[in-house]
Structure 1
């Protein structure tokens, strides 16, 4: 196996064992059995390593990810990806149960290191997925890489709000207003103005 592949395999194994792990250069190099210099040759920054590992993980676990269908407009692909996230939360009773579980796990108990670590791991995984989607679109030239962190946080905030809305009683079509909100958010992310 080539050095680059050994590094990526070691990093993926580390994430597989503990999603809260930080992919430090020294730890990944040690696990892969390579020098830190060799790792830096293939991945000049920790971010480059993390991005490549996450890309491979997403390609493996979500082979038909709509973000890769470059025949469709970037706007529609990103909305479809965000819809997937919301679909996992369900609607009505299902959404209420999901939010109830989140409340019981992260909000109701007194914050401690274990709860913070678990929540931050969940948040990091969500952010990584959104970063991946935006990265694909940036590589295609559909949006600049400028203010990526702000855009990711904006998208996550919109998703959180919409998932809460799915759990609340409503007299109108949640899906219609949700679609309008998703397109508004995606337009803000893809547009020249910052969200």
Structure 2
């Protein structure tokens, strides 16, 4: 059975965001990518915001293939570091990293972004926090996470990743990768319980705020 028009639109929009998180998802661009008319797109998604929110909500439910957090052979620190490297790998190094920052600057810094652009950015930011929060929730349930709110830990780790992505866009040499690995290890250690420290019994949540953060 062929895909419905609505599914075609959502797949096209999600693909565009995957290729370029700063994509505007304009009606014309998404309709053209989906191979449908602008009228059909407006029928299902009257506004750009509704389209963005539906796409991001759908991505929320997706599970990453080969998620390092599910690897029982690794320590909690090794798994968390591997997860953070996945975020870095989405942008890459060298010219891809520079192109990423050029697009970010053009979309959100060079001139005041539109309300729709701000809405899309914040939706994607929440998605990133949610994804890292799910990893941290897994570690919390194992008793490996340090005390604190999940969202605070997640935003701290994302700030570290953002800084490393900025470094990747700047001139440097291969020796920087060793420092990058050390930075990820330091960041992971900051949100994990030290090895051998007392742990909370399995299944006991830290706070109600932790649950609300996901």
TM-score normalised by the shorter chain: which range applies?
A: 0.5 to 0.7
Counterpart of 1:180? Answer: 182
Deviation string, structure 1 residues 85-104 (Cα, Å, up to 9, x no partner): 10111111110011111111
- The offset of 1:63, in angstroms, is 3.0
Which stretches of structure 1, 4 residues or more, deviate above 3 A after TM superposition? Answer: 16-19
Counterpart of 2:136? Answer: 134
Cα RMSD of the aligned pairs, angstroms, is 2.7
Mapped to 2, the partners of 1:121 and 1:90 lie a distance apart of 22
After superposition, the Cα gap between the structure-2 partners of 1:63 and 1:172, relative to the gap in structure 1 and judged at 3 Å, is closer
- Where structure 1 has 5 or more consecutive residues not aligned to the other structure, the ranges are 1-15, 22-49
Q: Going by fraction, where is helix more abundant, 1 or 2?
A: 1
Mapped to 1, the partners of 2:116 and 2:189 lie a distance apart of 37
Mapped to 1, the partners of 2:153 and 2:133 lie a distance apart of 9
8 Å Cα contact 2:133/2:154 also seen in 1:
yes
TM-score, normalization by structure 2: 0.61
After superposition, the Cα gap between the structure-2 partners of 1:145 and 1:19, relative to the gap in structure 1 and judged at 3 Å, is farther
Mapped to 1, the partners of 2:52 and 2:70 lie a distance apart of 25
- The offset of 1:191, in angstroms, is 3.4
Query: Do residues 153 (structure 1) and 158 (structure 2) align?
Result: no
After superposition, the Cα gap between the structure-2 partners of 1:171 and 1:69, relative to the gap in structure 1 and judged at 3 Å, is closer
Counterpart of 1:113? Answer: 115
8 Å Cα contact 2:88/2:165 also seen in 1:
yes
8 Å Cα contact 2:69/2:80 also seen in 1:
yes
- The offset of 1:71, in angstroms, is 2.5
1:20 to 53, 58, 64: 53
TM-score, normalization by structure 1: 0.67
Mapped to 2, the partners of 1:113 and 1:181 lie a distance apart of 35
Secondary structure of the equivalent of 2:62?
helix
Mapped to 2, the partners of 1:136 and 1:18 lie a distance apart of 30
